[in-house]
Structure 1
């Protein structure tokens, strides 16, 4: 198999975005399979899959905080066009999976490790029985933390992984870093029930202008419109407990990086203000020090949501991801 150069990949273009979303993307989405299973503490975890006849390779898509697989219809379409079956879950407490607090818009979790256990259950009970020859992972943001911990706990399960702006650290102001986790713990103790961390609020649609997520206006408005059409997808700020759990999990993902055996491509957005980009270097260095393959690729000028960015950023991101997977396909025969 010859690896295609990035410029000939046929990914969705912004110039025909709404037409494509209403056409081939919707047509494929209507063919999706959906299911559910009981995660940790019997929380309902919903999942979806787009499968094709005779595909022997699959991509496990692991989305970020406040996201849903409904948001990833365009990406799933683009990946399917490259010959992959695609599977995704909605994490506990968000998307169409079971909520964990009385306030349905609160981003809450009891134990961050529950995200990982849910993903393991999905992989073991839904994906593994399908008998795919090769398994790949594409994980974004908080999903990158979950994916990193999954890879460390399940060496050999994934042939190759791409981490998009993974949350190996949270972007916290320097003066706050030493006290952020202890403060969140104290605030949680003072709350009678799970509630927002200081400064956090329920969902509201931030205007496109100066938003920290992406520079593609058409993609940004599409997913904001989706959340208005499906208000059950709306998630606001994190709970105090999620904050200190998230900080701890990000640190753990670096500490356990030495246990990852899958080749990792880490895609970093240079203009990311959501996560701590410096943590990416510590993660990759830990893998490399253990003689494990980790490549870090910086997408200059891009913001956090690399998979929803303007074409000039998103196209090379997807091309790099597909080429990374295809390299593993060739090496593994």
Structure 2
């Protein structure tokens, strides 16, 4: 299916006058408590997870130009670190036009979901398995209803892609198709893995768990030239305006504990016996100009999934930044078209 992208020249106006009113017409939100049997729910501060959903049936009643009349299932969006549901409104718009309901989970420490630190800049997690339990519970309790018996697909970006990869391994029957965009199969730390692991573990052991990780900064109001490099200025400015308008969207930095858990997640996801468990057809997009995650572990992950007998394809976008969905239309068009074509292709048993 060919998707008409938003014109970058009138991006803000189109978002405000067309996209957002249409999304609001089919939008619902809620909070989900961890399942009774999960490890997270047994902690003294399990908290609640916020989510936003868009119903494709209600969207279809709006008769949007270029939208399909065919309902195809649902897509779960799993966002990256420091992100929030509203950042994916444009992507949700394209999925809705293609016939998919959209369900966005705001991971712990993000957006309106439970936070375990008082500093709004920081993301803290004590055990990466909480993310996986939250996601699996969200899919079984909320997203499956929106799929309504048709395929449930995954779109995971960065940290959300790493979480998605772990969910595919630990819960291999949840999703029917999965797209991982610049997934955090391994974070870019700037140190060899063994040294980073030893340093971060030692820092957590001496009480630095909830402190801002080295090299990170609080939220800043000014964009830098690097933010615009290769990216769409219209999209970058829109994302930043969303953050400026709500302090809950200004989360900006991981803690030492988050880095420790990101490394532990990576070590688990890359085990060959875990990759062997994946049964969901997989499409991975790799950004050639990526400041946040490492490319070689993505290559290794895809190859190990293939070796385990599951279809997996890696598409490298040489000049793309980490947030591929924030690139200019020349890069966005083949990216979005390929994702939707992948979701639309019949599932081969």
Q: Same fold (TM over 0.5)?
A: yes
Residue equivalent to 2:64: none
CA–CA distance in structure 2, aligned partners of residues 58 and 83 of structure 1: 8
Within-5 A mapping of 1:1-333 = 4=1, 8-31=2-25, 32-39=27-34, 40-41=40-41, 42-53=46-57, 55-130=71-146, 131-173=148-190, 175-191=191-207, 194-205=210-221, 207-211=223-227, 215-255=231-271, 256-328=274-346, 331=348
Equivalent-residue separation in structure 1 for 2:229 and 2:193 (angstroms): 22
Provide closer, same or farther for how the CA distance between residues 279 and 147 of structure 1 changes in structure 2, counting only shifts above 3 A. Answer: same
Provide the C-alpha distance between the structure 2 equivalents of 1:292 and 1:98, rounded to a whole number of angstroms.
35
Distance 1:216 1:208 in 2: 14
Q: Secondary structure at the match of 1:242?
A: helix
CA contact (8 A) 1:58 1:132 kept: no
| Inter-CA distance 56–314: structure 2 relative to 1 (3 Å threshold) | closer
Q: CA deviation at 1:127?
A: 2.1
Shift of residue 49, structure 1, vs aligned partner: 0.7
Q: SS at 1:116's partner residue?
A: helix
Instruction: Give the equivalent residue in structure 1 for 2:62.
Output: none
In structure 1, the residue matched to 2:63 is none
My pick for the range that moved more, 178-187 or 263-272, is 178-187
| Other structure's SS at 2:346 match | helix
Aligned to 1:302, the other structure's residue is in SS state strand
TM-score when normalising by structure 2: 0.88
Q: Deviations over 1:216-266 (max 9, x none)?
A: 111111111111111121112111111111011022122222211011000
Query: 2:65 corresponds to which residue?
Result: none
Q: Secondary structure of 1:30's partner?
A: helix
**1:79–1:214 distance in 2 versus 1, CA, 3 Å:** farther
Measured against aligned partners, the alpha-carbon deviations of 1:31-73 in whole angstroms (never above 9, x if no partner) come to 2100111133431101111102273411111111100011111
CA shift at 1:316, angstroms?
1.2
Stretch of structure 1 that moved more, 201-210 or 262-271: 201-210
Task: Report how far residue 157 of structure 1 moved.
Answer: 1.9
- CA deviation map 1:159-213 (0-9, x unaligned): 111100000111233x543311111111122236611122223222462411388
TM-score by length of 1: 0.92
Once the two structures are superposed, what CA deviation does each residue of 1:82-131 show, in whole Å capped at 9, x if it has no partner?
Answer: 11100011001111111111212211111111011001111111122453
5+ long unaligned stretches in structure 2: 35-39, 58-69
Tell me if the contact between 2:230 and 2:319 (Cα under 8 Å) persists in the aligned partners. no
> In 1, are the aligned partners of 2:287 and 2:324 still within 8 Å (CA)?
yes
Q: 1:99 to 1:214 in 2, by over 3 A?
A: farther
Residue 192 and residue 251 in structure 1: after superposition, are their counterparts in 2 closer, same or farther (change >3 A)?
Answer: closer
**What RMSD in Å do the two structures reach over aligned CA positions?**
1.8
